[in-house]
Amino acid sequence: MQRRKLSDQIAEQLEGMIADGTLKPGERLPAERQLAERLGISRPSLREAIQKLSSKGLLHTHQGGGNYVTESLAHSFTDPLMALLQDQPDAEFDTLEVRKELEGVAAFNAATRATESDRQRIWSRFNEMVEIHRAEASSIEKLQADAAFHQSITEAAHNVVLVHFTNAIHDVLKNTVSEYLDMFYAEPTFVEKLCMQHKAIVTAIMDRDPEQARDKARFHLEFAFQAFHEFKSQARLSRNSELYASMFSEE
C-alpha cells in the first residue's frame, strides 16, 4: 500500500482544525519556520500542505506575508441573511429564534462531550464575561465577552456544523442588534440576571446534565429574545415621539 505523503497528512490535520473551529476564520497561522518546527516537518512539506489548502480556498496569503484562514465560509452564509434583514427590519428576531435552538443543542452536547480542557475553558470564559459585565466596560466589549462564552460551549459540543452555524448567527446578530446594546446592558439588575442565567448553564454542563443544560440555555436565549423585542419597541416609540415633536413644534 502506498504511503501517504507527509504534506497530505499535515493538510488533513489543518483542514480538520479549520472545520471544527479550532482554527478560526481570519486567524493567522504561525510563521512557516515556527510552524514547521512545532509540527516536526520540513518547510517544503509544510508549504505543500498550505498550498493544498489554499487551492481549496481554506487559506490565503495577505499582502506582506502570512497565511490566514479564509473567512469566506462564514460570509457565504451571513451575506444573504444581512440582505434579508435590511429588507425585513424585524427579521433579526427570526435569527434569535434560530440561535435559541442552536445554543440549546450546543449546551446539550457540551454536557456530554466536553473534555477537561473544554470545561476549564468554559469556566474561564464565564468568569471573564462576568467580570466585564459587572465592570464599566462598553456594550460592545460586553457583547464580545458574551459571544466568547457561548462560543466556548459550542466548541465543547464537538460538532463541526454547529460551530460554523453558530458563528455565522453571532456575526448576523452583532450587526443587527447593536443599536439596542446600550439599553440591554444599562441596568445592573438586568445584567445580574444574565450572569445568573449563564452560571446555570455552566453548572448544568459541569454536572454532565444535558437536559438541564439545554433547558437553561433555551431559557436564557428566550429571556434575551423578549428583552431585545422590548428594547426595540421602546426605541421605535422614542423615535416616533421625537419625530412627532419636531413635526408639531412651534417655530
Q: What is the DSSP letter of 220?
A: H
Q: What is the pLDDT of residues 66-97, one digit of tens each?
A: 888 887 655 555 555 555 555 555 666 777 78
User: What is the set of domains in the chain, with CATH numbers?
Assistant: 6-69 (1.10.10.10), 73-247 (1.20.120.530)
> What integer pLDDT is reported at residue 117 of this predicted model?
92
Q: Which three cell numbers stand for residue 63?
A: 499582502
| Structure confidence at residue 1 (pLDDT) | 43
pLDDT score recorded for residue 153: 96
**What pLDDT, on a 0 to 100 scale, did the predictor assign at position 176?**
62
Query: Where does residue 195 rank: exposed (0-12), middle (13-18), buried (19+ CB within 10 A)?
Result: middle
pLDDT at residue number 225 = 82
Q: What amino acid is encoded at 86 in this protein?
A: Q
- pLDDT for position 6: 87
Q: What's the mean pLDDT when you consider all of the chain? A: 82
Spans of the chain, pLDDT less than 50: 1, 244
pLDDT for residue 97 = 82
Q: How many CB atoms lie within 10 A of CB 242?
A: 10
